[in-house]
Amino acid sequence: MTDPILDDIAFLTALRRDLHAHPELGFEETRTSDIVAKLLEEAGITIHRGLGGTGVVGTLQIGNGTRTIGLRADMDALAMPEMADRPYKSKFAGKMHACGHDGHTTLLLGAARALAKSRNFSGTVHFIFQPAEEGRGGAKRMVEEGLFNLFPCDAVYGLHNMPGLDPDEIAVVEGPQLASSDSWRVTFRGTGTHGAKPHLGKDPVTAAATFIASLQTIIGRVVDPLQPAVVSACSLQAGDPKALNVIPDIVEIGGTARAYTPHVRDQLEQEIGRLAQGTAMMYGIAAEYDFIRRIPPVVNNADATARALRAAQDVFGSKVRTSFPPSTAGDDFAFFAGEAPGCYVWLGNGPAVDGALHHNTAYDFNDDAIEHGVRFWTRLVEQELSGDHDAIA
Ligand SMILES: [Zn+2]
Ligand SMILES: [Zn+2]
């Protein structure tokens, strides 16, 4: 008997390299999504286009199983030049697949093609090809435009390549995987006055200094010491270096906040605001506070992780890691995992060639990982939608 996945590797490798040579930035993935849509349709899979602009959802329903799952691949590249020489180097100046999303798209297409052929499950799988993962809000837009109303899911899965793990190795870990990435702004509003007569005004500069000096007490005194968190003030605007005898009316401060759990994220939002308002009150001035939630943390659900782990152990045998350090980066897969129990796994990409890691001008997805990634997605669907849902308690 032939192995449909093995038979498809040459095609998928050529496809991956073609995608690599034609990188497209977030919400501009027209060529890529045309290829995705065409290949899904050719495999006999129903497609839905237009969610998030260039997003594509392929739906494959087999048998009468009622369980439905979603698998996510991101399609976008980064606005940066490719510096390494390779036969399939980016044809577009200043655009590059430096995060391996060309590989993610290929793996999910490979699984869709294999599953459409083998039809070895009972239920519904949605292949979700999202635009604009790299900070442009593709996942959020797909959700806002009704992804889960149109395609409800009982669980949703994401995968990212990871240098440092072997291409036949995978990490499937319960709990936090990627940090939240949020921004905050504080404006202290006093009454400007002559620098020699501070008693005639209300000085926002001294208030700002007190606020910044107190900021790290949030991590040290409020957040659980066993929970990682970061608060940084990264921007400070006040007065004029050419007017050193003027106390200004306003000081503007901005920064970032990172957390790995929704609870700590809420704490950071509340506490930065409380500190700003409390400091303003102490100095008799006003404070305005804005916390901008950008990307939630990716936290793997226990049940979805157990299901992913079972498929991983089947495909990768002993080369499954169940502990792996979380990344301080973010992934907007978090918006999908906010709508259904989610699990995000790390597929090995081999050693970092010449030290090139994600977002490096020499980075490349490792084609040796294609077969393993396709087998993982395929096995996950076959087990998840086996009709034997109670197998995992
Ligand atoms: Zn990236
Ligand atoms: Zn990425």
Give the pLDDT mean for 172-200: 96
pLDDT of 351 over the 50 cut: yes
Residue 216, φ and ψ in degrees, nearest 5:
-75, -10
Distance 160 CA to ligand 2 centre (A): 6
Distance 74 CA to ligand 1 centre (A): 10
Ligand (nearest to CA of 80)? 1
Give the pLDDT mean for 339-346: 98
- Round the average pLDDT of the chain to a whole number and report it: 96
The structure tokens listed for 39 are: 């290949």
Residues 6+ apart with CB under 8 A from 205: 238, 239, 247, 248, 251
pLDDT of 393 over the 60 cut: no
**Positive or negative CA dihedral for 335, 338, 342, 345?**
positive
Tell me the Ramachandran region of residue 268: left when phi exceeds 0, alpha when psi lies from -120 to 50, beta otherwise. Answer: alpha
pLDDT of 1 over the 70 cut: no
Q: What is the pLDDT of residues 8-50, one digit of tens each?
A: 999 999 999 999 999 999 999 999 999 999 999 999 999 999 9
Q: What is the pLDDT of residue 388?
A: 59
Q: What is the pLDDT of residues 235-270, one digit of tens each?
A: 999 999 999 999 999 999 999 999 999 899 999 999
Residues 6+ apart with CB under 8 A from 74: 101, 104, 105, 129, 130, 131, 133, 138, 333
- The fraction of the chain above a pLDDT of 90, given in percent, is 94
What confidence tier does 277 reach under pLDDT thresholds 50, 70, 90? very high
Q: Environment class of residue 88 by beta-carbon count within 10 Å: exposed (0-12), middle (13-18) or buried (19+)? A: middle
- Candidates 311, 305, 309, 271; CA nearest to 291 is 271
What confidence tier does 135 reach under pLDDT thresholds 50, 70, 90? confident
Pairing, β 250-259 against β 181-189: antiparallel
Distance 304 CA to ligand 1 centre (A): 24
Q: How far is CA 382 from CA 122, 174, 314, 316, 341, in A?
A: 8, 21, 11, 16, 18
Q: What is the pLDDT of residues 71-82, one digit of tens each?
A: 999 999 999 999
**By three-state DSSP, how is residue 157 classified?**
strand
Distance 152 CA to ligand 1 centre (A): 27
Q: What is the pLDDT of residue 368?
A: 98
